[in-house]
Amino acid sequence: MNETDKFNERYHSLIHTYIKNNEFVCDICQSNINKMNKIGFYASDVNICEKERTNFKIDIMFCGECNPYEIRIPHLGVNELNLLVELENETRDSKIKSIYEVQKSTKTEGIVWNPDRLWFKITGHALSTMIESPSVGFVSEFLYQAGIPLQSILKNDGKINFQGHSKKSLRNKYVKYVDNNY
């Protein structure tokens, strides 16, 4: 068995279970996902609100527009994967045709940053009260899609610096995104 086959076998069950138990809706923008397009997935092994390591699980299903095809802000201490999946058919029992590892970040890569704190400072809401089992990837991708310039706010040491950005303006971007998509 070659490395690609081992990889596909390892994540096939994880992805199959996820797509069987979830609607084909983007977890970021809430748009319907065409099953015949390539579908993006983000997986990780840490529940950030409970600060606990878990088994690897799918945290996000992306539509084509929201899929970043990368892990924008890898978090030190979290194993993360960005996957691309092709399905064979459009039925509820869709079979996985292929799985591609787009980017992988191991727990020894990235920076230490606090997704819960960043979310609260921008939105004014505690992350744990808004989203069930949020992931590092959900926080970064949701805020990115809302137009929040994370790369300039989150510094290499993990500290949050709003210099040059109005918190009110950032919160308004978040509210507008939520109003338009939820």
Q: Which helix (H) or strand (E) holds 138?
A: helix 136-145
The 10s digit of each residue's pLDDT in 96-112 is: 888 999 999 999 999 99
Alpha-carbon distance of 107 to 105, in angstroms, equals: 7
Task: Report whether pLDDT(16) > 90.
Answer: no
Q: How confident is the model at residue 72 (pLDDT cuts 50, 70, 90)?
A: very high
pTM of the model: 0.87
Q: Rounded to 5 degrees, what angle do the CA atoms 24, 173, 74 make?
A: 65
- Give the residue from 47, 100, 35 showing the smallest Cα distance to 70: 100
Mean pLDDT of 167-181: 93
DSSP-derived secondary structure for 33-96: --TTS-EEEEEEEEETTTTEEEEEEEEEEE-TTT--SS-SS-BTT--EEEEEEEES-SSTTPPE
Confidence (pLDDT) at 2: 60
Per the prediction, the chain carries an average pLDDT of 87
The 10s digit of each residue's pLDDT in 110-163 is: 999 989 899 999 999 888 777 666 788 999 999 999 999 998 999 999 999 999
